[in-house]
């Protein structure tokens, strides 16, 4: 079966970039990305490519080439569903914040709504592709809804989880290590798998396209994220030990990462991982293990989250204790708010939790991030405090402790301390000599990403504290002769 018309429900960080690349590489397929959020769709259609709702290096160029040719963004969900042979579901699946499974399970209400809408609208057979990250056996639920509420047409459900990372999404899509497609072992299931394989085969080689049964595919996605996050929590756990023993975490990471069995990636110690998926997917994995009565397995994976929370808290505590046990009324400048560089996404960013601890201790948080707006930063904090049950009045008053700037220079002026929360490259290029002159003394730098040159900054006069760096390098001495 040849796919001619694709529809994607959800124009977010996954739906937007993945469909743009499919459209770019498959010019004969019409790709329509739909969303209920009108302003998001308007932004995807904006003439000014700087206003696309997702910031990703290389994305604007792809959209520019394909948009209006065979790539369309629309709020007309029903007509897009009706016209499509293949429908991707790329809607959000956040952690449930109510009822059964609150704080652990994935909230599948948006996915369920999509299935009901597809079933109501579809008048001919369709392939439904799970692109969202879903708990293992969700395809069964989708199939049940589609079969019981549809118009008698046939639906094949495939699992095709997405492995892109934000900030490198276009590269990850164009040069994917692999794509994974899970489907039923029936004849029609295999035909559906082949139809999706043919889409990816436009730019990926057959050995990059893995096919499995549906359940393996669903579970592999949660597992991949859990393994990646596990490495970060492992190195972050060791960073605490390094600080206590004067070992250097970057040296340890290099030493172990050169063992080809371990490998060098995902061993960068940090203030803690953020992002919309690691925490939510691991919590979901833990929930599933408990659901299937596997408490030891659940506790094993849960430790990744516990350690990550500890790392964020440890960073905030170090700032407070270094600043003579109080940050009350002090100006702490945050360089970075996004959960990693090269994205405007702030979901679950470590910055949010570090800010919360410091604000609790009375600090003024002054933020500069090259891609994140004041509105977003304040919305992130308000959302956290709402979840904690704070009154509107209390939230308003706490927001007065946050100041957001369009320039790093202004944010850093007369600060007591600088905290690096995101590893944006531009932070390395600043004139730290003049920043030092304009700060209160002693001037502290807490490098939550270990991106700055600690030796050079120490020579300028800063008190530098990195992650997993108990040992501050001595000043370089001039040779005697
Ligand atoms: P997102 O919040 O950026 O986008 C989801 C979009 O779906 C929103 O714009 C929302 O308005 C829309 N939506 C919700 N219900 C809808 C409906 N019924 N019809 C049409 N649109 C609807 O989320 P995201 O980051 O793109 O993530 C989507 C899924 O992909 C999640 O399951 C996530 O776990 C997974 N994932 C995300 C990433 C990532 O890097 N962000 C990577 C891999 C997988
Ligand atoms: C992650 C995975 O890498 C993707 O494969 C997956 O598709 C995606 O989650 C998802 O399911 O959403 P993402 O969260 O976008 O991608 O970004 P990562 O590069 O994985 O970084 C996640 C967090 O870990 C960031 O806060 C980053 O700064 C931190 N990190 C990463 C470290 O602290 N140390 C590292 O060595 C690597």
Instruction: Determine whether 7 is an active site residue.
Output: no
Q: 16 C-alpha to center of ligand 1: Å?
A: 9
401-431: pLDDT as tens digits: 999 999 999 999 999 999 999 999 999 999 9
Atom of ligand 2 nearest to the CA of 232: 34
The answer on 294 and 153 residing in a single domain is: no
For the CA of 135, the nearest ligand: 1
- Whose C-alpha lies nearest to ligand 1, atom 28? 92
Number of other CB atoms surrounding residue 110 within 10 Å: 16
The answer on 175 and 300 residing in a single domain is: no
- Does ligand 2 lie within 6 Å of residue 16's CB atom? no
**In a domain? residue 244:** no
**In a domain? residue 250:** no
Taking CA atoms, 426 is separated from 353, 371, 422, in Å, by: 23, 12, 11
Strands 444-447 and 463-466: parallel
Strands 417-420 and 331-335: parallel
Q: What share of the chain is helix, strand, coil (3-state, %, to 5)?
A: 45, 15, 40
Residue ranges around ligand 1 (CB below 6 Å):
9-15, 34-37, 40, 77, 90-93, 110, 113-114, 132-133, 162, 164, 166, 276-277
155-214: pLDDT as tens digits: 999 999 999 999 999 999 999 999 999 999 999 999 999 999 999 999 999 999 999 999
Q: 156 C-alpha to center of ligand 2: Å?
A: 31
**In a domain? residue 85:** yes
For the CA of 225, the nearest ligand: 2
pLDDT at 123: 95
Q: Which among 153, 182, 204 is the end of a domain? A: 204
- Ligand 1 site-directed mutation target among 91, 120, 347, most atoms within 8 Å of CB: 91
pLDDT at 479: 47
pLDDT at 473: 47
pLDDT at 151: 86
The answer on 360 and 448 residing in a single domain is: yes
**In a domain? residue 251:** no
The answer on 143 and 286 residing in a single domain is: no
The answer on 194 and 295 residing in a single domain is: no
Angle at 420 between CA 437 and CA 459, to 5 degrees: 40
Backbone angles phi, psi at 367, to 5 degrees: -115, 140
Q: Which among 161, 183, 204 is the end of a domain? A: 204
- Ligand 2 site-directed mutation target among 166, 254, 341, most atoms within 8 Å of CB: 166
Atom of ligand 2 nearest to the CA of 162: 7
Cα–Cα distance between 401 and 394 in angstroms, integer? 12
- Ligand 2 site-directed mutation target among 220, 225, 315, most atoms within 8 Å of CB: 225
**In a domain? residue 371:** yes
The answer on 282 and 191 residing in a single domain is: no
The answer on 286 and 196 residing in a single domain is: no
Backbone angles phi, psi at 365, to 5 degrees: -105, 120
Number of other CB atoms surrounding residue 130 within 10 Å: 26
Residue 37: give the domain boundaries: 5-204
Q: 265 C-alpha to center of ligand 2: Å?
A: 11
The answer on 200 and 289 residing in a single domain is: no
The answer on 132 and 35 residing in a single domain is: yes
| Rg of the chain taking only CA atoms, in angstroms | 24
**In a domain? residue 270:** no
**In a domain? residue 455:** yes
For the CA of 222, the nearest ligand: 2
Q: 447 C-alpha to center of ligand 1: Å?
A: 32
- Whose C-alpha lies nearest to ligand 1, atom 30? 132
pLDDT at 477: 42
pLDDT at 475: 42
pLDDT at 107: 95
pLDDT at 471: 55
**In a domain? residue 107:** yes
Please tell me the pTM assigned to this model: 0.95
Low-confidence ranges of the chain (pLDDT < 50): 473-481
- Ligand 1 site-directed mutation target among 9, 11, 12, most atoms within 8 Å of CB: 12
- Whose C-alpha lies nearest to ligand 2, atom 4? 165
What is the enclosing helix (H) or strand (E) of 92?
Answer: none
Q: Which among 181, 204, 227 is the end of a domain? A: 204
- Whose C-alpha lies nearest to ligand 2, atom 24? 273
pLDDT at 481: 47
CATH of the domain at 104: 3.40.50.720
Specify the number of domains making up the chain: 2
The answer on 294 and 197 residing in a single domain is: no
Is 86 exposed, middle or buried, given 0-12, 13-18 or 19+ CB atoms closer than 10 A? buried
Q: 18 C-alpha to center of ligand 1: Å?
A: 11
- Whose C-alpha lies nearest to ligand 1, atom 2? 92
């Amino acid at each position: 079966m040849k796919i001619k018309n694709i529809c994607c429900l959800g124009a977010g960080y996954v739906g937007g970039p993945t469909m743009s690349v499919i459209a770019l590489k498959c010019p004969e397929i019409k790709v329509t990305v739909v969303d209920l959020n009108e302003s998001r769709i308007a932004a995807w259609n904006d003439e000014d490519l700087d206003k696309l709702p997702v910031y990703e290096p290389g994305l604007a160029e792809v959209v520019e080439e394909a948009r209006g040719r065979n790539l369309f963004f629309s709020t007309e969900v029903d007509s897009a569903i009706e016209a499509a042979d293949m429908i991707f579901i790329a809607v959000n699946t956040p952690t449930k914040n109510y009822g059964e499974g609150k704080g652990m399970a994935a909230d599948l209400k948006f996915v369920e709504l999509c299935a009901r809408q597809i079933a109501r609208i579809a008048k001919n057979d369709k392939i439904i592709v799970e692109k969202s990250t879903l708990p293992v056996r969700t395809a069964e639920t989708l199939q049940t809804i589609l079969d019981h509420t549809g118009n008698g047409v046939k639906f094949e459900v495939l699992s095709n989880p997405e492995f892109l990372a934000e900030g490198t999404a276009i590269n990850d899509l164009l040069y994917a290590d692999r794509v994974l497609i899970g489907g039923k072992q029936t004849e029609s299931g295999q035909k559906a798998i082949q139809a999706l394989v043919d889409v990816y085969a436009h730019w990926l080689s057959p050995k990059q396209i893995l096919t499995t049964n549906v359940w393996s595919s669903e579970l592999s996605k949660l597992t991949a994220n859990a393994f990646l996050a596990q490495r970060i929590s492992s190195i972050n756990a060791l960073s605490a030990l390094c600080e206590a023993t004067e070992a250097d975490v970057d040296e340890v990471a290099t030493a172990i990462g050169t063992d080809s069995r371990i490998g060098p990636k995902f061993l960068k110690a940090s203030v803690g991982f953020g992002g919309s998926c690691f925490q939510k997917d691991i919590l979901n994995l833990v929930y599933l293990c408990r659901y299937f009565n596997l408490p030891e397995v659940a506790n094993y994976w849960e430790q990744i989250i516990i350690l990550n929370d500890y790392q964020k808290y440890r960073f905030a505590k170090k700032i407070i204790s270094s600043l003579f046990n109080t940050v009350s009324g002090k100006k702490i400048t945050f360089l970075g708010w996004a959960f990693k560089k090269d994205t405007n996404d702030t979901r679950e960013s470590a910055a949010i939790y570090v800010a919360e601890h410091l604000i609790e201790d009375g600090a003024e948080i002054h933020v500069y991030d090259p891609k994140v707006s004041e509105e977003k930063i304040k919305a992130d904090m308000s959302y956290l405090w709402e979840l904690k049950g704070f009154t509107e009045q209390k939230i308003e008053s706490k927001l007065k402790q946050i100041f957001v700037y369009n320039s790093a220079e202004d944010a850093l002026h007369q600060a007591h301390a600088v905290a690096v929360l995101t590893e944006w490259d531009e932070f390395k290029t600043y004139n730290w000599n003049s920043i030092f002159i304009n700060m209160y003394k002693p001037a502290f730098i807490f490098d939550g990403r270990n991106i700055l040159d600690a030796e050079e900054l120490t020579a300028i006069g800063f008190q530098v504290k990195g992650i997993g760096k108990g040992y501050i390098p001595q000043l370089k001495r001039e040779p005697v002769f």
